């Protein structure tokens, strides 16, 4: 197990009720694994599974990317353009 810092922005911050948290993850956990953990811990964040963008240490990350020990993972809601 290892600890990562999770940052929430915009509506995700509002739904989680915090801008940051520390989460224990098993070694080898991916962004997709973290999505499931966060949706369970913060029921208002179930939309993470379908619509959020994530970054690991300030680099955009896809669902299958492994989260390294001590990483900072940030979640952003979808952005619409026009």
- Distances 61 to 8, 14, 17, 43, 74 between C-alpha atoms, Å: 15, 22, 24, 23, 10
Q: What is the pLDDT of residue 45?
A: 85
Domain positions in the chain are 2-76
Chain-centroid distance, C-alpha 52: 8
Whether the predicted pLDDT of 49 surpasses 70: no
Strands 2-8 and 72-76: parallel
Residues 1-30: pLDDT tens digits?
999 999 999 888 998 999 999 999 999 999
**Phi, psi of 7, deg, nearest 5:** -110, 140
Confidence of residue 81 (pLDDT cuts 50, 70, 90): low
Superfamily of domain 2-76: Beta-grasp domain (3.10.20.30)
pTM of the entire structure? 0.89
């Amino acid at each position: 197990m290892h600890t990562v810092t999770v940052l929430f922005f915009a509506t995700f911050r509002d739904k989680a009720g915090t801008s940051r948290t520390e989460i224990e993850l098993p070694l080898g956990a991916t962004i997709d694994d973290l999505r499931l953990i966060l949706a369970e811990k913060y029921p208002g964040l179930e939309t993470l599974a379908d619509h959020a963008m994530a970054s690991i240490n300030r680099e955009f990350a896809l669902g299958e990317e492994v989260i390294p020990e001590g990483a900072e993972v940030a979640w952003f809601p979808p952005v619409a353009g026009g």
